[in-house]
Amino acid sequence: MKVTPSAIADVLVIEPDVFGDDRGFFFESFNQKKWLEQTGLARTFVQDNHSRSVKGVLRGLHYQIQQPQGKLVRVVLGEVYDVAVDIRQSSATFGQWVGVHLSQENKKQLWVPEGFAHGFVVLSDVAEFLYRTTDYWAPQHERCITWNDPELGIKWPIEYHPQLSDKDSKGASFKDADLFM
């Protein structure tokens, strides 16, 4: 497993060791001991989520203001552009974002720490996305920042208006969002 800090050092790109031949491939998608040794992050993962979306769907930017979730995310089918936004007011990278292409081909994973808003847009015809989280889903604490907030200036690799859920279409602006200290 190779662990590389992104442009925001707390957000990590994880590349598994993949063993493959003409029959297919094998890799460990998660190993607690290796995770701790290579990231230094003592996290307990308590919930796994799996979503399927079609091309042009954008989910996010989501977070929980209480019971914040760290997320280890990956794509098992298709391709997405995945984004993490630092919404910790005390952070040197507050308001900055990082984006990474995750796909079934590159098998990369992204560690999105607690205190970040998270979202992705589907670039392939369909994508299946897995989330491993450090806390349970708490809908009463869930918040959403609008995907196209001009203050954040996220450069999504799309030239069309994405498909959004009702919740995501009503996301708060960054300046009006509930944020972490």
* pLDDT, tens only, 34-46: 999 999 999 999 9
The single-letter code of the amino acid at 118 is H
> What does the pLDDT read at residue 13?
98
Instruction: Write down the residue that tokens 């919740």 correspond to.
Output: 167
> What does the pLDDT read at residue 181?
87
What residues act catalytically?
62, 131
Instruction: Write down the residue that tokens 């030239």 correspond to.
Output: 159
pTM of the model: 0.95
User: Where are the domains positioned within the chain?
Assistant: 2-176
**Burial per residue of 59-74, b for 16 or more beta-carbon CB atoms within 10 angstroms, e otherwise:** bbbbbbeeebbbbbbb
Per-residue pLDDT tens for 160-171? 999 999 999 999
For residue 164, list its beta bridge partners.
Answer: none
Specify the CATH number for 2-176; select among 3.40.50.1100, 2.40.128.20, 3.40.50.12280, 2.60.120.10: 2.60.120.10
Burial class (CB in 10 A: 0-12, 13-18, 19+), 56: middle
